[in-house]
Amino acid sequence: MDAAVHRAIDAVWRIEAARIIAHVARLVRDVGVAEELAQDALVAALEHWPSGGVPDNPGAWLMTAAKRRALDHLRQHALHARKREQIGLDLDALGAHVAPDVADVFEAARDDDIGDDLLRLVFTACHPVLSTDARVALTLRLLGGLTTGEIARAFLTPEPTIAQRIVRAKRTLSAAKVPFEVPRAPERAARLASVLEVIYLVFNEGYSATAGDDWMRPALTDEALRLGRVLAGLAPDESEVHGLVALMEIQASRMHARVDAQGRPVLLLDQDRSRWDPLLIRRGLAALARSEALGGASGPYALQAALAACHARARHADDTDWEQIVALYDALAQVAPSPVVELNRAVAVGMAFGPAAGLEIVDALAADPALARYHWLPSVRGDLLAKLGRRAEAQAEFQRAADMTLNAREREMLLARATQR
């Protein structure tokens, strides 16, 4: 196959896959079947485009091919009568060779709901009946258009494991008869929280990789940002969606400054802020303003975005308003209490009121079982001890943190701090 055609097919599929799967899923009411039918359309493109050329509207071509296969599927499963009533079409008129006219009518009649279909797909892929790992994998597969191999490489997981995870997720959705719909008001908030959690998990794994040789995996942060922006367009009145987008935009603005020329981590206060992306900062601040205008200033993602904005607005590290950051962490601890939030608050308290005040909070967290293997606890404690001049204790804490982390770059950084005199 011509390389240019192959690249075109890959690009179109990455852009259009979610739309196609979502639209077909509304017809067949099964995301697993919908993905198979969409993949069949992709195979048809691989067969026809190299000889016939890439069509003027490749996305529409794939959509039409997938819908024809969906209609065949419905007819074969004796569901065409019910679907004929639902969509107002006589499916029997759609013979094997009647495609152009009938398909065009079908597309004109139903494609106005593509945005709603995508929102349905988002909520289905992130349904709480699935485990967190399954939701992440299925979301990247169905909405991100990533291959199983790409997801496996991103999370340093064997490809067969990811493949089985996705297969089981689709089977679980089918067995549980999860409806392909946007949840109604009583459960929408909880379901939306599940969606936001998945997107932010993907972003965080790209922003600070749990394991492996690289500190960051930009492909994951890019994909999470794209999904967040899409969701903000689909749910423009949801303040926390804009809060999450704001948080990711502002954090992503620092990506180029978070590593040095050798790929080694550069911590926030040591970063060259001239390397922060001003466009992403502006987009993040605008998204935060939208969240606050919708009454979401006290939401957990909006509060985290406001924390990130404090850093983004400071031209130099010394300009950071640490007392404001402490106040925001106090508010975050009220709406989303967790030991990790309290540990981050300890860092801010140490910067605002001195390392002894921060260390007191950290020491109170030391016995929390949730932080037993959390390498940032000894890392933060080591930093505070170093500022207090307790060098030997600090070195021991940095060594302990290095022993805990699974990320090679973090380990190098922590070991370097452990040997500083």
Residue 348's nearest CA partner among 363, 331, 328 is 328
**pLDDT at 312 exceeding the cut of 60:** yes
In the predicted model, what is the mean pLDDT of residues 364-376? 94
- What's the pLDDT tens digit per position in 43-80? 998 898 888 888 889 999 999 999 999 988 888 875 44
C-alpha distances (whole Å) from 362 to each of 6, 365, 385, 418 are 54, 5, 11, 19
> Lowest mean pLDDT: which of 109-123, 203-217, 394-408?
109-123
Helix (H) or strand (E) holding 300: helix 300-313
**pLDDT at residue 108, as a whole number:** 42
Domain layout of the chain by residue ranges:
3-114
**Would you say how long the chain is, in residues?**
421
- Is residue 202 exposed (0-12), middle (13-18) or buried (19+ Cβ within 10 Å)? buried
**pLDDT at residue 83, as a whole number:** 52
**pLDDT at residue 109, as a whole number:** 38
**pLDDT at residue 81, as a whole number:** 52
More confident residue, 317 or 113: 317
**pLDDT at 239 exceeding the cut of 60:** yes
> Lowest mean pLDDT: which of 83-92, 208-217, 266-275, 292-301?
83-92
- What's the pLDDT tens digit per position in 79-121? 445 555 565 544 454 444 333 333 443 444 355 566 789 999 9
**pLDDT at residue 96, as a whole number:** 41
What's the predicted TM-score (pTM) here? 0.82
* Structure-token pair, residue 231: 């969701």
**pLDDT at 278 exceeding the cut of 90:** yes
**pLDDT at residue 86, as a whole number:** 60
| One-letter identity of residue 125 | A
Q: Among 138-152, 153-167, 384-398, which range has the highest average pLDDT?
A: 384-398
* Structure-token pair, residue 248: 């990711």
More confident residue, 9 or 379: 379
Confidence label for 201 from pLDDT (cuts 50, 70 and 90): very high
**pLDDT at residue 338, as a whole number:** 95
**pLDDT at residue 91, as a whole number:** 46
- Is residue 302 exposed (0-12), middle (13-18) or buried (19+ Cβ within 10 Å)? buried
Confidence label for 324 from pLDDT (cuts 50, 70 and 90): very high
In the predicted model, what is the mean pLDDT of residues 398-406? 96
Confidence label for 11 from pLDDT (cuts 50, 70 and 90): confident
